[in-house]
Amino acid sequence: MSTLTTILRRAGYIEDADVTRVEAHSRAHRCAPFVSVVELGLADENDLLRLLSARLMIPIASAEVLTRVEPETLASVPAELAWSGGVLPVSLDDTGNLTLAMADPTDERAVNAVADHTGAYLLRAVAPVGALRDAVRHYYGEPTTPSKGPPTPLQIPAVRDEPDDEPEAPAADVVPLSTAAFAAVLPRLVGAADRDTIMEVLLDFLGEGFERVILFIHLRDELKGRDARGTDMVREAVTQVRIPTKGPSVFSDVIQSAQVSFGPWPTERAIDRAFDRAMGGIRGNVLVLPVRVRDKVPVLVFASGAQNPVDPRSLDQLVSSVQSALERLIFRKKSRSGH
């Protein structure tokens, strides 16, 4: 199941029986699952645009935006890549960040191809397929290489039958979030030589037991999205998230207390309510886990959709070990610098 069909299935737009139809249509017509869902009459395109915008926390590139692209921005992506990836560069800021309008913003292959070609940091936006196709044709002309099979609204690579890098499944006798699961990842924490490795261990552990996990860095009264786990979570979208920590919210409460929070997500306060909307609605119990180093909380993790019982002991062990690993890095850094 592709990332996009997973999002649509969880949101109730398609049923299990529709997934096979959508992916078969996508392969047969060499188009994105988004296009297939619309062409099969399973959902309205405008509804899907709003859903993807909310779930992936990315903007919608309107038809008007697609008609006002600067020449230097267009020059960053060649015609062949625009057609084959189903993308259009729409803006390039002073720091080199490139915003990419896409029919399927979950298409990692298209994003990686553009990133490899441009070397730019990419920001994604979802666009109406028809308007995107017309804009690509207007700016770049017709595709130079005819596609095989029937004509398509936009030549987007077919859905892969199997992902290139299939994540390893946890051992059958190890329950995610359990003390045994923590024991399995502890050697990675002990041997971690940098902060990125520590954060990956933390995300991987929680990602096995929750549907959605977001790791935030806390800096200057603000939470900044750093990384995520989950089939409908896109790292590039997460890194654009900014949440103030001065105003009242679950996040600020956890940071001030440095205590784990686990329970239903409240929506009485403005920041909590806004985050709930950005996530497309938060259901079930939510874990907000602070990582404290000395007198600060530099890392905060949000996790929702628990798929296994949450063992408080394993969480305590996880937090303690992550904090110790970060402290070791600080000590090593100071020792090397002589301070």
- Tell me the residue length of the chain: 339
Identify the CATH number of the domain defined by range 179-337. Answer: 3.30.450.40
22-26, 75-79, 250-254, range with greatest mean pLDDT = 250-254
Alpha-helical (H) ranges within the chain are: 3-10, 16-29, 33-39, 45-56, 63-66, 71-74, 79-85, 108-118, 129-140, 179-190, 195-207, 235-238, 250-257, 270-278, 312-337
Give me the sheet containing 121-126, strands edge to edge. 87-92, 97-102, 121-126
Candidates 3.40.50.300, 3.30.300.160, 3.30.460.20, 1.10.1740.10; CATH matching 3-140: 3.30.300.160
Report the 10 Å Cβ neighbour count for 42: 16
With beta carbons less than 8 A apart as the criterion, state whether 282 and 261 touch.
Answer: no
pLDDT value at 119 more than 90: no
Q: What is the mean pLDDT of residues 304-327?
A: 83
pLDDT at 94: 75
DSSP state of 247: S
pLDDT at 228: 94
pLDDT value at 45 more than 80: yes
Helix/strand/coil for 126: strand
pLDDT at 153: 37
Among 41, 40, 37, smallest CA distance to 49 is for 37
Q: What is the mean pLDDT of residues 70-88?
A: 86
- Between 3-10 and 16-29, two packed helices, what is the crossing angle to 10 degrees? 150
**Cα(294)–Cα(177) distance, integer angstroms:** 26
Question: What is the full DSSP assignment across 191-233?
Answer: T--SHHHHHHHHHHHHHTTEEEEEEEEE-SSEEEEEEEESTT-
**3-state secondary structure string, 139-186?**
HHCCCCCCCCCCCCCCCCCCCCCCCCCCCCCCCCCCCCCCHHHHHHHH
pLDDT at 160: 35
Token pair, residue 14, equals 């398609």
pLDDT tens profile 280-300:
899 889 999 999 988 899 999
Identity of the amino acid at 199: M
Confidence band for 31, pLDDT divided at 50, 70 and 90: confident
pLDDT at 337: 62
pLDDT at 336: 65
Confidence band for 147, pLDDT divided at 50, 70 and 90: very low
Residue ranges of domains in the chain: 3-140, 179-337
Confidence band for 339, pLDDT divided at 50, 70 and 90: low
Q: Taking the complete model, does pTM exceed 0.85, yes or no?
A: no
**Cα(275)–Cα(256) distance, integer angstroms:** 19
> Which H or E element spans position 88?
strand 87-92
Q: What is the mean pLDDT of residues 11-26?
A: 80
Which stretch of 96-100, 316-320, 335-339 has the lowest confidence by average pLDDT? 335-339
Beta bridge partners of residue 210, listed in sequence order:
306
More reliable by pLDDT, 165 or 65: 65
Token pair, residue 82, equals 């625009």
pLDDT at 159: 33
pLDDT at 218: 95
59-63, 107-111, 117-121, 286-290, range with greatest mean pLDDT = 286-290
- Same fold? 3-140, 179-337: no
- Between 312-337 and 179-190, two packed helices, what is the crossing angle to 10 degrees? 10
pLDDT at 154: 56
Rg (CA), the chain: 22
More reliable by pLDDT, 90 or 314: 90
Give how far the C-alpha of residue 87 lies from the chain's centroid of Cα atoms, to the nearest Å: 18
pLDDT value at 170 more than 70: no
Question: Who contacts 258 (Cβ-Cβ below 8 Å, separation ≥6)?
Answer: 290, 292, 297
Q: What is the mean pLDDT of residues 229-253?
A: 90
Q: What is the mean pLDDT of residues 144-150?
A: 48
pLDDT at 92: 85
pLDDT at 1: 54
More reliable by pLDDT, 227 or 337: 227
Q: What is the mean pLDDT of residues 53-61?
A: 86
pLDDT at 104: 84
Q: What is the mean pLDDT of residues 126-147?
A: 81
pLDDT at 158: 34
Confidence band for 329, pLDDT divided at 50, 70 and 90: confident
